[in-house]
């Protein structure tokens, strides 16, 4: 039996149920968060339409329960947490309508199937989703990850709006990837702030409203939620480098949400929910190694390239590059030396003949000289018989040509 928080699952008995339970277990790299859409006992057409449009934005990471629920998230969260555990959904949207709080929409998120943050909006203005504006355009594909844009310095300066920004990023950010192809970003969600009357400065409400406690500071915040399709112009390349390369198409839904009640998690609970596993930290550290920012805010990176194995690269084979055996190389070198020596000798003979220094002999003279040489060899006992190699008639021997009587 597996236990998650204060809930437990029965031990699966079939292979199919084991796979289903394993998918719901905690992972180092979690799947995309799913949202559970719930409806109270009473609702209005405005709330029903708003929930339908929000569900269209969050497809396919959402689930709707058709049965109406007789509970209020602000008075008790036990049943809400149980439904989130049963359906494996960490986000929830609860819509209701009554005289005191008309067109009420509650958005929240859970950690370990305990309610972490919860915020209540009143829908004071809404435009339905209209995909006819995107017909024939390459934008607003279903299930794509949107670009989140927050307008206003309050999202960076005040803690309440910093947490609100984190909440919307977690709720509508979609699946988390390390890298995103800019050519595939075809939707944009723009969130801005204004006061209730549109003239006063924005004041945040108190964020510790729990149960039936009255709100300490109501505030005057209205969140303007806008959804656009991002279309690339024909002149744009595959990468959107400037605003002139894109065009925003208003496809809806658009909401004006008045902030009514807020219940943020306390510091320790939020810190525990934001803790990352060691494996994720190691991955993030590896991704951000040797990355720095210069004085002008430009991102700079340093790359370290390892030793390339050039010898093992698959290159084109040339016959001239093949290694030959040492014997072949030696014989080739010897032939080259012999040819060079013979060429030098012929060159010397040619030069001597031209200058008249080379003596010419007729056939009788050559025979006489040969007979004299054989006689000398016979007397000294060094003769070994006639020469094995016969020369052509009248052709002088190399020894005769280079004899002592010939001055070269």
Q: What is the pTM of this model?
A: 0.66
Token digits of residue 269: 């609970």
Q: Within a 13 Å sphere around the CA of 263, how many CA atoms are in the beta-carbon half?
A: 20
Q: Where are the domains of the chain?
A: 27-275, 355-408
Strand pairing partners for 64?
Answer: 37
Confidence at residue 160, expressed as pLDDT on a 0 to 100 scale: 93
CA–CA separation, 381 vs 372, rounded Å?
14
User: Could you please report the per-residue DSSP string of 338-384?
Assistant: HHHHHHHHHHHHHHHHHHT-S----HHHHHHHHHHHHHHHHHHT---
Q: Is the dihedral of CA 324, 328, 330, 333 positive or negative?
A: negative
CA–CA separation, 106 vs 128, rounded Å?
19
Confidence at residue 370, expressed as pLDDT on a 0 to 100 scale: 76
Q: 27-275, which class in CATH?
A: alpha beta
- Beta carbons of 123 and 47 less than 8 angstroms apart: yes
Name the residue among 195, 164, 159 with its Cα closest to residue 262. 164
Confidence at residue 241, expressed as pLDDT on a 0 to 100 scale: 58
- Beta carbons of 248 and 189 less than 8 angstroms apart: no
- Beta carbons of 171 and 91 less than 8 angstroms apart: yes
Strand pairing partners for 35?
Answer: 62, 91
Phi, psi (degrees; rounded to nearest 5) at 25: -70, 160
CA–CA separation, 240 vs 242, rounded Å?
6
CA–CA separation, 66 vs 299, rounded Å?
49
Low-confidence stretches of the chain (pLDDT beneath 50): 382-385, 390-391, 398-399, 401-408
pLDDT, tens only, 219-237: 899 999 999 988 877 655 5
Confidence at residue 408, expressed as pLDDT on a 0 to 100 scale: 39
Confidence at residue 394, expressed as pLDDT on a 0 to 100 scale: 52
Confidence at residue 406, expressed as pLDDT on a 0 to 100 scale: 42
Cα angle value 260/265/267 (rounded, 5°): 135
């Amino acid at each position: 039996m597996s236990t998650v928080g204060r809930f437990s699952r029965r031990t699966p008995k079939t292979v199919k149920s084991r796979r289903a339970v394993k998918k719901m277990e905690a992972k180092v790299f979690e799947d995309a968060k799913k949202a559970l859409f719930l409806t109270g006992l009473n609702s209005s057409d405005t709330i029903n339409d708003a929930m339908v449009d929000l569900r269209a934005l969050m497809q396919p990471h959402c689930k709707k329960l058709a049965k109406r629920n007789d509970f209020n998230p602000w008075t008790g969260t036990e049943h809400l947490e149980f439904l989130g555990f049963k359906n494996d959904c960490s986000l929830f949207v609860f819509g209701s309508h009554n005289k005191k709080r008309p067109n009420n929409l509650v958005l929240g998120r859970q950690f370990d199937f305990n309610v972490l943050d919860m915020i209540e909006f009143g829908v004071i203005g809404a435009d339905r989703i209209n995909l006819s504006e995107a017909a024939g355009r390459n934008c607003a594909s279903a299930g794509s990850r949107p670009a989140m844009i927050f307008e206003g310095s309050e999202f960076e300066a005040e803690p309440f709006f910093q947490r609100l920004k984190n909440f919307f990023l977690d709720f509508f950010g979609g699946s988390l990837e390390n890298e995103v192809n800019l050519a595939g970003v075809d939707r944009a969600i723009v969130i801005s702030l204004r006061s209730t009357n549109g003239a006063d400065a924005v004041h945040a409400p108190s964020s510790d409203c729990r149960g039936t406690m009255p709100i300490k500071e109501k505030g005057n915040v209205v969140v303007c939620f806008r959804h656009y399709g991002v279309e690339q112009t024909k002149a744009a390349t595959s990468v959107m480098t400037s605003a002139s390369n894109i065009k925003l198409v208003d496809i809806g839904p658009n909401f004006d949400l008045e902030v009514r009640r807020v219940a943020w998690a306390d510091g320790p609970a939020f810190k525990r929910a934001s803790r990352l596993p060691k494996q994720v930290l190691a991955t993030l550290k590896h991704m951000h190694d040797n990355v720095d920012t210069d004085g002008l805010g430009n991102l700079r990176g340093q790359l370290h390239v390892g030793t390339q194995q050039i010898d093992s690269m698959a290159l084109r084979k040339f016959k001239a590059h093949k290694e030959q055996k040492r014997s072949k190389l030696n014989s080739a070198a010897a032939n080259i030396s012999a040819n060079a020596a013979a060429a030098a000798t012929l060159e010397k003979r040619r030069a001597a003949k031209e200058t008249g220094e080379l003596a010419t002999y007729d056939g009788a003279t050559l025979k006489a000289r040969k007979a004299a040489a054989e006689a000398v060899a016979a007397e000294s006992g060094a003769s070994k018989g006639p020469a094995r190699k016969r020369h052509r008639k009248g052709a002088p021997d190399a020894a005769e040509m280079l004899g002592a009587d010939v001055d070269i």
